[in-house]
Structure 1
Amino acid sequence: MERRVLWLLLLVLALGSSKSASEYVGLSANQCAVPAKDRVDCGYPQVSPEQCNNRGCCFDSSIPEVPWCFKPLQETECTF
């Protein structure tokens, strides 16, 4: 029984630590493909990637002088 508990604990720890701050939590890569000129600020000065993602926003610090934490594009679903 102890061995099962230990394996379960290791599994939970491994899954919890596998997420990186650069992932978009609950967002697709397409939603975060916002051109720099169209970014709408969603954060605050010194916001971390994790804090930004927790707000439901995208984080990309690769382009200087534009918002790094910004609102995602809204995915639209086509219905016929």
Structure 2
Amino acid sequence: MDLKGFCFVAFVLILVFSRATGEYVGLSGNQCVVPASERVDCGYPEVTAEQCNNRGCCFDSSIPEVPWCFKPLQEAECTF
């Protein structure tokens, strides 16, 4: 299977599983290594780590005055 075909199949599987479970599937640790200055808020006040992760987001409360619940980095993108 060529790269485009692989990316298409991976995209479809992620889409199907994420809609079926209501949760983000396959969040890797590398995706949560986001510099504090680049974090995009993904939560709401008083969000817990579990609630944040259920939204498909990363949680790190070790740095004050930045979003603790934030959007993960995207894995390598497939281009068609």
Tell me the TM-score range normalised by the shorter chain: 0.5 to 0.7
The answer for the alignment partner of 2:10 in structure 1 is: none
Contact 1:26 1:56 in 2 (8 A): no
> Cα RMSD over matched residues?
1.7
Moved over 2 A (4+): none
From the CA coordinates, give the structure whose radius of gyration is larger: 1
Question: What TM-score comes out, normalization by structure 2 length?
Answer: 0.64
Q: Give unmatched runs, 5+ long, in structure 2.
A: 1-24
For residues 7-44 of structure 1, give each alpha carbon's deviation from its aligned partner in whole angstroms, at most 9, with x where no partner exists: xxxxxxxxxxxxxxxxxx73111100000000000000
Question: What TM-score comes out, normalization by structure 1 length?
Answer: 0.64
Contact 1:42 1:57 in 2 (8 A): yes
Q: Give unmatched runs, 5+ long, in structure 1.
A: 1-24
Correspondence 1:1-80 to 2 at 5 A: 26-76=26-76
